[in-house]
Amino acid sequence: MKRVSWSTTLKNRQQIRAYVQAGEEIAVMFSDIRGFTSYTAREGDRAAYKLSRIHEVLLKEQIEAQDGIVVKTMGDGIMAAFAELSSAVHSAVGIQKAIRQRNRQHPAEPIDVGIGLASGTPIVTEADLIGNSVNLSQRVSSLAKGGQILATEEFTHEILPSQGYRCIPLGKRQLKGLGAVRLYEIAWMAEVARLTDRNDKFTLVLTERGTLVTELAKGVRTRIGNTATMPDKSPFSSILQRGMSRLTQAIVDKSLSAIGIAREQPIDRVDLSIGGGKVIVRVGKKEITLHDVDMAQAASFSDKLVQMRRELYPEQAEEQTKTG
């Protein structure tokens, strides 16, 4: 890791302060690890601390490489600031790419982060930033799925058109204490197709490298694995249903990796089926279900996945044709 000198950090901090004092907007970034609380409960404090340190070192390197500063760390998250909005974008993309590479090398213990970007002129103290842009960035980060970079409309219109990044409009989202805010996703992967449920809790991304990436929002419930339904309305049944609901919630809270599904899978390991208003993605004996999906978009996504599989794995496609 290339270490940035204290003098360089001080210079970057002074530049940020000068921008704010001149009334110019700076960029504020929040990033936090998805599933960290459940990981800590499952693996213990020592393992969680080790993971948080890996996350912190990786993010700090990407932030400082773009002349940003780490304002503070919060165990499973980091707050950073940049004098230039474009630097924040490059840093966020660098973070997601570095995490993706790290996860390929350590598939048994992946790290997923959601990143939020906002701009403004916060109050700059010796050890912190205070203001609406800080609150906004943190709230936006909380809405980002693992692997996503989200930005406010003002931030997006200010910087992204000149940077060549593709922006996906997500419409207005309710942010706690801040009302409805129009958000955009910064698409950093080379994508062939994507499929998202109408509630924007689950996204599948088909990439040019021949992988299927799963992006999962915070707080998703009853969407992974097998769930039981019981039509019986007896008191015993209601108690049992509540117990199953809590069990399902606990399973979901463990994140994809905890139930044996990597966030990024080579497409030759994935089976996708459509029917009954839902899409089922199977990886071995595990499965993920997307409900309330546009069936036309799902069919188009499935066609592109099949086409790419035939191009990348012709022998597998030929074998399936023979057995079919």
Q: Could you give the domains of the chain?
A: 6-188 (3.30.70.1230), 211-323 (no CATH)
Burial class of 121 by CB neighbour count within 10 A (0 to 12, 13 to 18, 19+): middle
Instruction: Tell me how far CA of residue 267 lies from CA of 101, 147, 237, 313, in angstroms.
Output: 18, 18, 40, 9
Q: Residue 220 has what pLDDT?
A: 54
Question: Could you give the CA distance from residue 135 to residue 171 in angstroms, rounded to a whole number?
Answer: 19
pLDDT, position 253: 38
Report CA torsion sign: 313, 315, 317, 319: negative
Contact 165, 92 (CB under 8 A): no
Strands 149-152 and 113-120: parallel
Q: Give the C-alpha separation, 228 to 245, whole Å.
A: 9
The pLDDT of residue 320 is 54
SS3 92: helix
Q: Is-contact 148 213, C-beta < 8 A?
A: no
Per-residue pLDDT of the chain (324 residues; tens, 9 = 90+): 456 677 888 898 899 999 999 999 999 999 988 888 878 888 889 988 888 899 999 999 999 999 999 999 987 899 999 999 999 999 999 999 999 999 888 877 888 899 999 999 999 888 899 999 999 999 999 999 989 999 999 888 776 555 677 888 999 999 988 999 999 999 898 889 999 888 888 889 999 999 998 887 765 543 344 333 334 444 444 444 444 334 333 333 345 555 556 788 899 988 989 988 888 888 888 888 888 888 999 999 999 999 999 999 887 655 555 445
Q: For position 113, what pLDDT does the model report?
A: 92
List strand residue ranges (DSSP E) for the chain, in order: 26-33, 69-73, 77-82, 113-120, 123-124, 129-130, 149-152, 166-175, 179-187, 191-196, 202-207, 211-216, 264-266, 270-275, 278-283, 286-291
Q: Which of 12, 3, 118 is nearest to 71 (CA)?
A: 12
pLDDT at 261: 67
